[in-house]
């Protein structure tokens, strides 16, 4: 496991720093093409929560049965059981559509983004919700 520095996203980046790190890893390390191989902040489930829906951080066309959500320590784990239950519900909804939703914890991204993205691409979930410690 390697410790790495976070990178600074451009000012127009719509998401979090860990999401940008995953995006950058997908593009630079795994040679995935945005818009072709995957979509960022997919509104497949209706868009933002304040608009009555949800957003999936990364949903893939290649492979076609995979999605990745970044789990921020504060929001996804620090706000209580309702948020965690919501994340599990999203996983179940996508499973019903034949899509595996893999969670990557923010702290893991900050430790070794390429390792955890590789694991997610291989459908291995090391997150707290996926059974990781």
pLDDT for res 133: 44
**Considering its fold, how many domains does the chain have in total?**
1
Judge whether 97 lies within some domain: yes
At 12-39, the pLDDT tens digits run 888 889 999 999 999 999 999 999 999 9
pLDDT tier for residue 65 given thresholds of 50, 70 and 90: very high
Residue 60 phi, psi (nearest 5): -110, 140
pTM, two decimals, is 0.84
Can you give the residue range of the structural domain that contains 117? 23-33+63-121
How far is residue 47 from each of residues 41, 52, 55, 97, measured CA to CA in Å?
9, 7, 5, 17
77 within a domain of the structure (yes/no): yes
| Position 77 pLDDT exceeds 60 | no
Alpha-carbon separation of residue 30 from 35, 63, 74, 78, 118 (angstroms): 15, 12, 28, 31, 8
Q: Is residue 8 part of a domain?
A: no
- Please confirm whether the linkage preceding 130 is cis (ω < 30° from 0): no
End-to-end CA distance of the chain: 15
* CB-based contacts of 42, cutoff 8 Å, min separation 6: 55, 56, 57, 58, 59, 67
């Amino acid at each position: 496991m390697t410790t790495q520095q976070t990178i600074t996203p451009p000012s127009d980046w719509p998401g979090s720093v860990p999401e940008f790190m995953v995006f950058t890893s997908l593009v630079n390390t795994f040679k995935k093409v945005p818009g072709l191989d995957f979509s960022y902040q997919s509104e497949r489930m209706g868009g933002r929560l304040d608009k009555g829906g949800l957003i999936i951080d990364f949903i893939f066309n290649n492979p076609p049965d995979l999605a990745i959500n970044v789990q921020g320590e504060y929001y996804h784990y620090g706000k209580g059981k309702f948020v965690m239950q919501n994340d599990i519900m999203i996983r179940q909804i996508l499973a019903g559509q034949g899509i595996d939703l893999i969670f990557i914890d923010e702290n893991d991204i900050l430790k070794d983004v390429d390792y955890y993205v590789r694991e997610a691409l291989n459908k291995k979930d090391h997150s707290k919700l996926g059974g990781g410690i």
